[in-house]
Amino acid sequence: MAFILFLVKMQFSVYYATVWPFLQEVCYLQEIFRVLGAALSAPLFGYWSNKMKQIKLPAVTGIVVMFMSNLCFMFIEFIPTNRKYFLLLARLGHGTGIGSFIRSHLFHTIASANKDKSTAAAISDGAYCLGLAFGPGFLFDFLFVPLNESIHQHNRIRMLQ
């Protein structure tokens, strides 16, 4: 599970470093929708986890919602009209997935024995931080690929249509 946390955080840091400037030019509201999804869904996932006395199903549901919203984001090119609203819906779903992501961190401490809880929490937090640290390093490997800003120029125009 720690390796999954490492990969997810590495993906987050690579994703936000590359997509953030582009999304700011396309629609400034997208970040508001992502944060709103996280803020509203985190207490709901917490209530659901407490009611079921289980972490696994809410955590997996959040990962599936995040995966589906990322698919929506990937295929936004094929939406004929109102792409901006589809983008906002995809970002809301992404935030909803982030709101459930804390359940993955809790799973380490709940699933381990009492004497190993602090070690499990340390490994989970370490994987989380290492993923954030190694993500930009992974991105640095592609730094010398000859890219320029004009690559996304045509997407910016299409996204706003």
Q: Find, among 45, 89, 81, the residue nearest to 63 by Cα.
A: 45
The two structure tokens encoding residue 84 = 């901006």
Does an H or E element contain 136, and which? helix 117-140
3-state secondary structure of 82: coil
Q: How far apart are CA 23 and CA 21, in angstroms?
A: 6
Number of other residues whose CB lies within 10 A of the CB of residue 90:
22
DSSP class of 113: -
Q: How confident is the model at residue 41 (pLDDT cuts 50, 70, 90)?
A: very high
- Mean per-residue pLDDT, 71-87: 83
**Least confident window among 55-59, 96-100, 108-112:** 108-112
The two structure tokens encoding residue 124 = 């989970």
Q: How far is CA 59 from CA 80, 86, 105, 136, in A?
A: 33, 24, 10, 26
Which residue would you say has higher pLDDT here, 102 or 49? 49
